[in-house]
Structure 1
Amino acid sequence: MAESVLQNQLTVSSDQEERELKGSERAAVLLLALGEVHGKAIWNQLDEIEIRQISAAMANLGPVTPKMLEDLFKDFVKRIASKGALTGNVDATERLLTNFLPGDRVSIIMEEIRGPAGRNMWEKLSNVQENVLANYLKNEYPQTVAVVLSKIKSDHAARVLGILPEELALEVVGRMLRMDAVQKEVLEKVEQTLRVEFMSNLTNTSRRDSHEMMADIFNNFDRQTEARFLAALEEDNREAADRIKTLMFTFDDLMKLDAASCQTLLRNVEKDKLAIALKGSTDTAREYFLGNMSSRAAKLLEDDMEALGPVRLRDVDDAQTGMVNMAKDLAAKGEIMISKSNGDDEIIY
């Protein structure tokens, strides 16, 4: 009986790559081998968590070769393994679950396995650069734009609205204010359009420059590691090293902040961290930050630095990196302006 069920549901070539089955995969193979009739009694004994784990493993199981079956089941399934193999997939899993679970439970479990298109779609959109999303949405109907912006995170929606043409943005805001609950059919249509026309082409339109990515990584190195990697890269590829250094935003770049931005940053940095960061900084950096504080605050900070005594370089690096990250966060919120170049208004974050 089990052989008949397997042969009707699952076929796979015998030359698939061997691999070791682990954890819930082993239970998934067993239940696939037992089939709908013989496996029902076991499924009925499983709790909700076990059913979800095994169902997810079954849906992603892929080919199971005869050799793998022999290793897993030994003598118990040796006869089955010698006749054929198994392939676990979404459809087979859903058919099997339907035989012994209520339809609504099957739908929930299979939705989690497949990944609900709606949830994944909106999460993905919230991670799309606002200029890329705005560039796509500016050619859509205002109602469609309103639906999309109502489904993504509010801070991301705000940035997208700020980039859209003003007339369109105002129309979208009006429609969002008048919007009732979006009908399921409308939402599904918007999701399908986004998936086909936008998300499928996204990798080609928003691919991040590799030098920018490496600059972010270098920004998070401690000072010694950064110097070591840059020195090695300069020997191997001077042009790439120079470009990465240009894109990096470091503690020294904070001295390019205008007075208002510097004072905003200082208000947001913990005083003990500021003291450690300046304790290990250059005289120029120390004078710059102290010069953007009131005389009383500067004196208190100098006293704090004096009281610290010797500090570890690692602690200084961590404190300075914290200031850099705080500056980036404030810039992203539009509270300060940071730039890599003197006398240039280019925003880098």
Structure 2
Amino acid sequence: MAENTPTKLNGAERAAIFLMSLGEENASQVLKHMGPKEVQRVGAAMATMTNVSREQVENVLGDFMETYDNQTNLGVGSEEYIRKVLVDALGEEKAGTMVDRILLGHNTKGLESLKWMDARAVAELIRLEHPQIMAIVLSYLDSDHAAEVIAFLPERVRVDVLLRIATLDGIQPAALQELDEIMERQFSGNQNTIQSSGVGGVKSTADILNFIDSSMEAEIMDMIKDADAELGQQIQDLMFVFDNLVDVDDMGVQALLREVSSETLIIALKGADEGVKEKIFKNMSKRASEMLRDDLEAKGPVRISEVETAQKEILAIARRMAEAGDISLGGKGAEEYV
């Protein structure tokens, strides 16, 4: 961390420096207003930061104060000001969810509580609910969390729930409010108003399936296609799979490789497409690529399940980096940037 310059700090690291500068009590008050994913990312950045230079601290605090000073008293409470400060601190991707919660009233006590719960506990809580209720709840969770919950649900309802998520085109605020109240009563919480109902959709289903175990994912996709071939194809087109790494730009692949262990990479490439292998070799030094080729040749037979697990691990790292804004994923379902 000592060698980093202020311009190289990512959003989570800048937020971590800012919070550590506030002191324990003030930092804890800020964290109370953040969601589980934001807390996890900023907390992880805090835990790994060592030898933070005075220049870095001054740069982060200076940027914040400059933003603050440029606002009028009337602007401090405005939507644009809140959005700008959060984006500057956490980055566009991570700040988006928090802006929604603050400005659109998404920080609902009942449903929001589920985001902090263990996946098994959430599954136990909703397992007796109607599949449509399950679909709404899962749509409200982060994709990786929802995938973990689905793994604990009975097999007979998994496909039904995912199909309902895919065809869910938002719900009436009153209905979402009622669901939130039900959850609140279970947690003995207080009621807040819900102002948005944009949950579910094909992309949401694809995101969830991206995090599901490979063997289960294949089985579920087959069943979805049997039930609705066109919808199944739409979902598959939006999923990011290991072969899609060929569409990631070279800088992104190089950044990803720095986060992946050699053993995981070797196992993952044993079952990879030749195009993906060449993409990886291309983005390594000549010596490193030669060593990797030798290791691949020397590696004996590997179980398909081990290959799929390794590939899933790499994909999870890639998605995490994409969410942090460190890389841009390609693939058919990826968003384009201009």
TM-score bracket, normalised by the shorter chain, equals 0.3 to 0.5
What TM-score, normalized by structure 2, do the two folds share? 0.46
Larger radius of gyration: 1
What TM-score, normalized by structure 1, do the two folds share? 0.44
